[in-house]
């Protein structure tokens, strides 16, 4: 059906209007393809001037159904959407990517782990628990031993629903939620591969990236591409990402987060079926960005070139820890003077401690120099509530 339509006439709806939606809209604008967004407020990042923005909840059945019925294709920029409405839309002939059945699996970290087990894909051993009390009971009766990682099955985000329990001193951190408890991997590096697949089954990966985390916020602090790993490890990471994509069989992007352990074994941590933080650098360092690739994939177009034009370091611009309020940017001019630093501000009105307010990708042939520039940008810029800086 889509092949008979002019690309500028295809109605593409996106559930979620945050920064990922905004960057999808910017990629779509190159083709003059208007995207339509559903989210609570047109003040959100994807609510650019002239945007087609419907205010409503992507968690609400009727809102999603009414929005989707006006679209040819519906996709997501967040997992926490109403999947029963997406299934209904699918039955009415709307093209929905990713497949809502698979989205149901990915949304629930417990089902996701069971999926890897069924598919014989490498992911750390796990047990499901109904609540925090049963986790503590399992420790007492000896069926669960330290160290382990407890994750809320649903609604976890940017490390919020994750508790690393090393010994009894960490017991107060145990989450009350229905959760999956995983064996703690002895991590050497955290890697990610963003992979795309279109309906015809064409698959392409972006280069493997390496993530370094902020010690307090548990958010990615530096993202480095290419990852500094041996070529054979890189190949294994790429092959594994392709296997995971084939197992899910969805169209669009799949960001596959991986752990490389101290014995050089690779484990799947989790996946996201949408553009992802670990692919932001592709806007400035690859011929095709992850955002354009997602559009190509969901429209069943040929996938674009993913080779790395230039090494890159990406940093998230996080709200400072001083408080919540209207965002003000200090030191922007100084950081803009750094050569090769590409700024992406999301336009969120309110800053909060560690909130993702933007990102900067530094491209440089020399990765060490790129890291230094990233540190300079990081130390120059501060995003805090108006009146506090
Ligand atoms: P989120 O979905 O909130 O991003 P993740 O499942 O990616 O949460 O976990 C956040 C971080 O917690 C990971 O990046 C990693 O540093 C740590 N972590 C998660 N699972 C494990 C594990 N099984 N072993 C060791 N560390 C883990």
CA 35 to ligand 1 centroid distance, Å: 32
Closest ligand 1 atom to Cα of 186 = 25
Q: Decide if pLDDT at 1 tops 60.
A: no
185 lines ligand 1 (CB under 6 A): yes
Q: Are residues 210 and 344 in the same domain?
A: yes
C-alpha 376/C-alpha 342 separation (Å) is 13
Does residue 103 fall inside a structural domain? Answer: no
159 lines ligand 1 (CB under 6 A): yes
Q: Among residues 183, 207, 231, which one ends one of the domains? A: 183
* pLDDT level of residue 49 (50, 70, 90 thresholds): confident
Q: Is 386 exposed, middle or buried (0-12, 13-18, 19+ CB in 10 A)?
A: exposed
Q: Which domain holds residue 22?
A: 2-96
214 lines ligand 1 (CB under 6 A): no
Does residue 50 fall inside a structural domain? Answer: yes
Which residues have CB under 8 Å from 8's CB, separation 6+?
31, 32, 33, 34
187 lines ligand 1 (CB under 6 A): yes
| Lowest mean pLDDT across 16-30, 96-110, 205-219, 245-259 | 205-219
CA 231 to ligand 1 centroid distance, Å: 25
For residues 221-227, average pLDDT: 94
184 lines ligand 1 (CB under 6 A): yes
User: What per-residue confidence (pLDDT) applies to 156?
Assistant: 63
Q: Are residues 193 and 172 in the same domain?
A: no
CA 108 to ligand 1 centroid distance, Å: 15
Q: Are residues 321 and 239 in the same domain?
A: yes
User: What per-residue confidence (pLDDT) applies to 103?
Assistant: 98
CA 149 to ligand 1 centroid distance, Å: 8
Q: Which of 15, 6, 18 is nearest to 38 (CA)?
A: 15
Q: Which of 157, 141, 152, 156 is nearest to 181 (CA)?
A: 152
Test site for ligand 1: of 164, 173, 274, most ligand atoms within 8 A of the Cβ: 164
CB 229 within 8 A of CB 261: no
For residues 92-119, average pLDDT: 98
Give 168-182 pLDDT, tens digit per residue. 999 999 999 999 999
Give 64-86 pLDDT, tens digit per residue. 999 999 999 999 999 999 999 99
User: What per-residue confidence (pLDDT) applies to 268?
Assistant: 98
CA 41 to ligand 1 centroid distance, Å: 30
φ/ψ of 295, rounded to 5, equals -65, -45
Q: Which of 221, 104, 107, 109 is nearest to 162 (CA)?
A: 109
Q: Are residues 154 and 230 in the same domain?
A: no
Tokens of 136: 């503590």
Q: Decide if pLDDT at 285 tops 70.
A: yes
Q: Are residues 26 and 134 in the same domain?
A: no
Q: Are residues 366 and 240 in the same domain?
A: yes
Q: Among residues 96, 116, 134, which one ends one of the domains? A: 96
CA 386 to ligand 1 centroid distance, Å: 33
The strand pair at 252-261 and 266-272 is best described as antiparallel
> What is the rounded average pLDDT for all residues in the chain?
95
Tokens of 122: 């490498």
162 lines ligand 1 (CB under 6 A): yes
CB atoms within 10 A of CB 264: 13
151 lines ligand 1 (CB under 6 A): yes
Total tally of structural domains belonging to the chain:
3
Closest ligand 1 atom to Cα of 158 = 3
Q: Are residues 204 and 299 in the same domain?
A: yes
């Amino acid at each position: 059906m889509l092949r008979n339509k002019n690309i500028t006439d295809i109605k593409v709806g996106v559930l979620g209007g945050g920064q990922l939606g905004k960057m999808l809209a910017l990629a779509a604008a190159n083709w003059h393809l208007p995207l339509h967004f559903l989210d609570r407020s047109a003040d959100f990042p994807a609510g650019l001037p002239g945007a087609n923005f419907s205010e409503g909840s992507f968690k609400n059945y009727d809102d999603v159904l009414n929005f989707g019925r006006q679209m040819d294709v519906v996709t997501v920029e967040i997992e926490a959407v109403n999947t029963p409405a997406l299934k209904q839309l699918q039955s009415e002939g709307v093209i929905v990517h990713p497949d809502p059945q698979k989205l149901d699996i990915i949304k629930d970290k417990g089902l996701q782990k069971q999926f890897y087990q069924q598919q014989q894909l490498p992911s750390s051993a796990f047990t499901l628990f109904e609540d925090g009390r049963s986790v503590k009971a399992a420790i007492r009766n000896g069926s669960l031993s330290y160290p382990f990682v407890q994750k809320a099955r649903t609604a976890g985000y940017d490390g919020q629903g994750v508790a690393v329990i090393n010994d009894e001193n960490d017991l107060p951190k145990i989450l009350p939620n229905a959760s999956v408890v995983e064996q703690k991997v002895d991590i050497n590096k955290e890697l990610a591969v963003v992979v795309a697949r279109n309906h015809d089954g064409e698959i392409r990966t972006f280069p493997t990236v390496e993530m370094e985390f902020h010690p307090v916020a548990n958010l990615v602090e530096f993202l480095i591409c290419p990852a500094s790993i041996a070529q054979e490890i890189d190949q294994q990471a790429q092959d594994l990402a392709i296997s995971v994509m084939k197992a899910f069989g969805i169209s669009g992007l799949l960001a596959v987060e991986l752990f490389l352990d101290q014995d050089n074994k690779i484990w799947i941590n989790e996946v996201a079926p949408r553009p992802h933080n670990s692919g932001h650098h592709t806007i400035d360092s690859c011929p095709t960005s992850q955002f354009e690739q997602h559009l190509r994939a969901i429209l069943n177009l040929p996938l674009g070139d993913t080779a790395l034009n230039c090494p890159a370091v990406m940093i998230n611009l996080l709200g400072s820890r001083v408080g919540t309020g209207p965002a003000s940017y200090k030191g922007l001019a100084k950081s803009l003077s750094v050569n090769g630093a590409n700024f992406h501000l999301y336009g969120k009105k309110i800053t909060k401690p560690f909130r993702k307010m933007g990102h900067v990708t530094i491209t440089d042939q020399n990765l060490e120099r790129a890291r230094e520039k990233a540190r300079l940008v990081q130390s120059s810029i501060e995003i805090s509530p108006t009146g506090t800086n």
